[in-house]
């Protein structure tokens, strides 16, 4: 079975290419981080500003979802190849979870 790892020694060009590519990606991660901080700031400010909750609640929930998607796809590399199984099971979990939450805010007898 595929227990053997075939070590491949990169040539200098390949190696430099890889380093440059991952350095680029890391810059992207920094941007992601900046966006996440920004989204968090908006969320907190929106609450402090004292607008109507009917307006603010959907906005901050949306911001949370965006932030989580960034976290999953960039920080946790779900945008990379080889995450098909991972995302299928994660989304299945999300669906079951959403149904659960929906149930508990609608049909628990209050």
Residues in contact with other proteins, shown as a per-residue x/- string from 17 to 46 under the rule CB under 8 A:
-xx--x--xx--xx--x--xx--x--xx--
Does 49 sit near other proteins (CB under 8 A)?
Answer: no
Among 38, 61, 73, 79, binds other proteins (CB under 8 A): 61
* Nearest by Cα to 44 from 59, 33, 29, 31: 59
Helix, strand, coil proportions of the chain in percent (round to 5)? 75, 0, 25
Among 24, 38, 42, 96, binds other proteins (CB under 8 A): 96
Q: What's the CA angle centered on 20, arms 76 and 4, to 5 degrees?
A: 65
Indicate the SS3 state at residue 58. helix
Among 38, 42, 79, 98, binds other proteins (CB under 8 A): 98
CA 4 vs. chain centroid, Å, equals: 33
| Cβ atoms 83, 77 nearer than 8 A | yes
Q: By the criterion CB under 8 A, which residues form the site for other proteins?
A: 1-5, 7-10, 12, 15, 18-19, 22, 25-26, 29-30, 33, 36-37, 40, 43-44, 47-48, 53, 56-57, 60-61, 63-64, 67-68, 71-72, 75-76, 82-83, 85-86, 89-90, 92-101, 103-110
């Amino acid at each position: 079975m595929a227990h053997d790892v075939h070590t491949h020694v990169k040539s200098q060009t390949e190696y430099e290419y890889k380093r440059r590519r991952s350095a680029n990606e890391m810059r992207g991660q920094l941007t992601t981080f900046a966006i996440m901080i920004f989204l968090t700031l908006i969320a907190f400010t929106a609450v402090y500003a004292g607008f109507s909750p009917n307006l603010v609640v959907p906005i901050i929930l949306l911001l949370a979802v965006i932030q989580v998607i960034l976290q999953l796809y960039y920080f946790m590399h779900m945008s990379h190849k080889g995450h098909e199984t991972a995302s299928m099971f994660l989304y299945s979990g999300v669906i079951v979870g959403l149904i659960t939450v929906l149930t508990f805010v609608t049909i628990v007898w209050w």
